[in-house]
Chains A and B, each alone.
Chain A
């Protein structure tokens, strides 16, 4: 149980375009989803926390107008990188938790590699 998927696994786009990444909880209802960014050979940096049906809470220094997060249902959250630039190239990982799991337990997706040309 507790499987989280991400789509796409890899995406290459041109500078200035927008890219949408989907995060789905396949076998449980995710009341909270988290979006992380991981730079090469670095740890995970939390970008934002989203609760179903409400606006995402962004961490300090993360541009909310650039990284649009929508958590429309208990099984789906999306991250849209708007007007992407090469510096947005990174590995994006989502995670999901439920009110039932509690205690900070998060289940992670396999990640999405974004390359902006």
Chain B
């Protein structure tokens, strides 16, 4: 069955430090992969997506993610975190019927 694992429930980083949020997926076919961000009480905003081609994808707000097929991973990175990045981040894989399967989310806290 399709699944997405985000092993870190919470991550705390200092402002200005680098960030990596982990995501592993399980899907039999070539995956379409997404990262979304959600602020409290808000909907989801798309950060970036991978469909095919270059395995390093750039997104909004300075985020990037790298697709590694051998590791079934799609980790999200940012070189320097800003306090406004504090939010919850969801990784998702696209499956049949245009559906998305989401990971459990990682809450990012930024300390000054």
Contacts and interface: CB of A to CB of B under 8 A. Distances in A.
B98 interface: yes
Interface stretch (A11-19, A76-84, A104-112): A104-112
A12 B36 CA distance: 28
B103 A108 contact: no
Nearest to A105: B49
B42 A32 contact: no
B31 to A, nearest CB: 10
B41 A42 contact: no
Interface in A62-117: 91, 93, 95, 97, 102-111, 113
Given A42-B104, A103-B51, A105-B49, A34 B99 contact: yes
- Say whether chain A's binding surface is mostly helix, strand, loop, or mixed: strand
For chain A, give the interface size range. 20 to 34
Nearest to A111: B43
Contacts of B43: 4, 6, 93, 108-111
22 contacts: A4-B43, A32-B98, A42-B104, A43-B103, A43-B104, A46-B100, A49-B97, A49-B98, A57-B97, A91-B41, A93-B43, A93-B44, A103-B49, A105-B46, A105-B94, A107-B46, A108-B36, A108-B43, A108-B44, A110-B42, A110-B43, A113-B41
